[in-house]
Amino acid sequence: MSQMLTLPNNKAIDQFLKDRQNIPHLEHILDDLITRYRHLDSLNEKGRLKFGDRVTSGERADTLFREMRDLVLNYYHITVSTDPKIKLQQKRGNGLNISEEDYCEGCIHIVADREVILKTTLIHGYVHFLVEEIYGYLEEDFSCLEEGLARVISEEMGTYLKDQTGNPAYEYDLLEDALSDIWECYCWLTKLLKRNKDSSLSRRYPFELTYKEKKGLKPDEYSRGNSYFKLHSHLYPSINLPLKYLSPPSPTL
Ligand SMILES: [Zn+2]
């Protein structure tokens, strides 16, 4: 366990985000996400994305989890000897109404889904488990960091899986989430900092605007956390922030 690294709480992340100079960087990030998403979406419409069969058995989910666990541990050079439990439920409900997974006390609850989606959702849940292993239980005050980290690690692994398998479906859902996360944050910050939205981005943004986006209301922890990590890597490309948090330097070596 490392006490060396100071983790940013939600307030610190909001402070980081509320900077006028972030706006052009967010626009750059959005431009890239829109281009990538639209490309995947056109493949999807032609039925060219293969999401695999729906995973309905707990054993299959366990097997897929172990594959994803080994992938993450190898990719980030982490050693962790314990595993979370995986509880697959067939339908939404029991706290899984909006989200596809919920991590709580060593257990990843997950809704049955097609294999490709289930795999990256398992990675999201596994990041929550790893954070708890490394830092202990973090309070709600660190939810932006936790959700942002889970989002960016699953995106990074989705890209890795796409490259390994040649199947772009691994990036589809994750890009959709990323795009709406960053867009929501952009709407909030342009309102807060009294800037106009870029009209060509607004035209190209592929989803219908939500009430929150229209009003420029403060977005949720997924959106702020994801925007924090994406802005950070855009501003400081030499610092691998996700890796820094997942694999903090050991204080006792
Ligand atoms: Zn999460």
Quickly state the pLDDT bin for 253 (edges 50, 70, 90): very low
Residue pLDDT, tens place only, 6-43: 899 999 999 999 999 999 999 999 999 999 999 999 99
Distance 225 CA to ligand 1 centre (A): 11
The answer to the question of residue 130 being in a domain is yes
Query: Residue 240: how many CB atoms within 10 A of its CB?
Result: 15
Q: What is the mean pLDDT of residues 30-59?
A: 97
Q: Is residue 81 part of a domain?
A: yes
Domain range holding 136?
19-246
List Cβ neighbours of 160 (8 Å cut-off, separation of 6 or more).
Answer: 71, 75
Q: Note the pLDDT tens digit of each residue in 213-242.
A: 999 999 999 999 999 999 999 999 999 999
Report the alpha-carbon distance of residue 43 to residue 59 in Å, rounded.
31
The predicted pLDDT at position 250 comes to 66
- Average pLDDT in the 87-97 region? 82
**CA 206–ligand 1 middle distance (angstroms):** 24
User: Domain for residue 2, yes or no?
Assistant: no
Number of domains in the chain: 1
Question: What confidence score (pLDDT) does residue 2 get?
Answer: 45
Q: Please report, for the domain that includes residue 238, its CATH number.
A: 1.10.390
102 part of a folded domain: yes
Q: How confident is the model at residue 251 (pLDDT cuts 50, 70, 90)?
A: low
How far apart are the CA of 177 and the centre of ligand 1, in A? Answer: 12
Instruction: Give me ligand 1 centre to Cα 198, in Å.
Output: 30
Q: Compute, in angstroms, the gap from residue 209 CA to the centroid of ligand 1.
A: 23
Contact 127, 149 (CB under 8 A): yes
| C-alpha 238 to ligand 1 mean position (Å) | 26
Distance 147 CA to ligand 1 centre (A): 5
Residue 155 has pLDDT above 70, yes or no: yes
